[in-house]
Amino acid sequence: MSRAVRPDSTAAGRLSRLLALVPWLSAHQGVTIDAAAAHFGVTPEQLEKDLWLLVCSGRPGHQHDDLVDIQFWDEDRRITVVDPQTLDRPLRLSPDEAASLLVGLRVLAQVPGPHDRAALAGATAKLESAAGAALAAADGVAVAVVGTGDASVAAAVSRGLAEGRRLHLRYVGSLDERTERDVDPMRVLTLDGRTYLEAWCRRAEAVRTFRLDRIEAAVVLDVAAEVPEDAVPVDLGTGVLRPEGAPVRLGLAPEAAWIAEENPVDSVTDVGEGRREVVMPVADERWLIRLLLRQGGSVTVLDRPDLVERVQSEARAALAAYDV
């Protein structure tokens, strides 16, 4: 059985509490350990551990006068902040931090789904007001949000998800190829500032992801969505979306090693002298052919003779054009 981990028991949760602890204690001089623990939602024992850690913390130099000075060992168990070492000041966001939060809030506001739009708008307005001066004074800080496309598409996707109904999409692929397909929506996800619809595609009979800004039209059908029980959602742990297509085994020379670093791969094998063999999923073979033509002999196709022939044919045609 797995055990739930309290957010305040993690390293990040404890650091957040420690940063908030000194300003709060400075504003509530003489508060008891029990009362402070109740305020922060921890046990008195945990709060004492936090206090012992704080009195060993401070500014660079690590001399006695550089450490946070808090008294809490008297019999009455009351806490007095003697020297907070500047930690009594309210925490403020840097321009970059404020910009990142604003981007996140604006992207979330555009993502289809049952969000509390009023709460998002309120939080965005408060952050803009609080960080406005800092952002205005900072050179080079710009907030840009990649749009999710047509508002009617976002509305249709939201409705399909909320009502569990099938969608008919007109979709523009990465090579400007338009297709029409019926999909059963599963969820909406955001990655690298882009918003995607993850759905069971009836045309491909597999899970597919669709960039919302590439969906030209979406219609909610009067058919219930039926996602197979064995449909596997996209794994976002790698931080990239795996292309949906047949894998190709490639040999990479040292100067082409970047291909394995900048594209999703299923496996990488070091074969010596800086060379690698990779298994890379390819959604569109036309993209791979262009890549092979640009890389010349530094990339070798190891398991697809038909693909090699297509590359050779494209290369001969290009050379023939120069002869003319």
Name the least confident of 3-7, 223-227, 282-286.
3-7
pLDDT in tens, 95-145: 666 666 766 676 666 666 666 667 777 777 777 776 665 555 444 444 444
Query: 79 and 103 share a domain?
Result: no
Residue 293 lies in a domain: yes
Query: 292 and 252 share a domain?
Result: yes
Interatomic CA distance for residues 271 and 277, integer angstroms: 7
Name the least confident of 82-86, 151-155, 213-217.
82-86
What does 44-69 look like in DSSP terms, one character per residue?
Answer: HHHHHHHHHHHTT-BSTT-SGGGB-E
CA distances from 205 to 33, 182, 202 (A): 60, 10, 5
Query: 65 and 102 share a domain?
Result: no
- Which residue among 72, 107, 137 closes a domain? 137
Q: Are 120 and 109 spatial neighbours (Cβ–Cβ below 8 Å)?
A: yes
CA angle 59/63/67 to nearest 5° reads 50
Q: What is the pLDDT of residue 170?
A: 92
Helix, strand, coil content of the chain in percent (nearest 5):
40, 25, 35
**Global confidence as pTM:** 0.42
Residue 43 lies in a domain: yes
Higher pLDDT, 143 or 86: 86
Residue 88 lies in a domain: no
Interatomic CA distance for residues 127 and 8, integer angstroms: 24
Interatomic CA distance for residues 279 and 202, integer angstroms: 27
Q: What is the pLDDT of residue 48?
A: 87
- Count of domains forming the chain: 4
Strand partners of residue 176: none
Per-residue pLDDT, averaged over 142-165, amounts to 73
SS3 290: helix
Query: 48 and 111 share a domain?
Result: no
Residue 56 lies in a domain: yes
Interatomic CA distance for residues 193 and 61, integer angstroms: 41
Q: What is the pLDDT of residue 142?
A: 44
The rounded Cα 142 to chain-centroid distance in angstroms is 19
Q: What is the pLDDT of residue 152?
A: 84
CA distances from 216 to 172, 201, 231, 252 (A): 7, 16, 25, 37
Is residue 171 within a helix (H) or strand (E), and if so which, with residue range? Answer: strand 165-172
Return the amino acid letter for 53: L
Q: What is the pLDDT of residue 144?
A: 44
Residue 41 lies in a domain: yes
- Which residue among 192, 224, 256 closes a domain? 224
Domain that holds residue 288: 247-323
Residue 235 lies in a domain: no
Query: Quick one: 269 exposed, middle or buried, by C-beta within 10 A (0-12, 13-18, 19+)?
Result: exposed
**Mean pLDDT score across all residues of the chain:** 77
pLDDT in tens, 163-173: 899 999 999 87
Whether the per-residue pLDDT at 275 is higher than 50: the answer is yes
Whether the per-residue pLDDT at 160 is higher than 70: the answer is yes
Is residue 165 within a helix (H) or strand (E), and if so which, with residue range? Answer: strand 165-172
pLDDT in tens, 26-74: 888 888 988 888 888 888 888 888 888 887 776 676 666 777 788 887 7
Q: If we measure between CA atoms, which residue out of 74, 67, 66, 65 comes closest to residue 31?
A: 74
Per-residue pLDDT, averaged over 215-220, amounts to 92
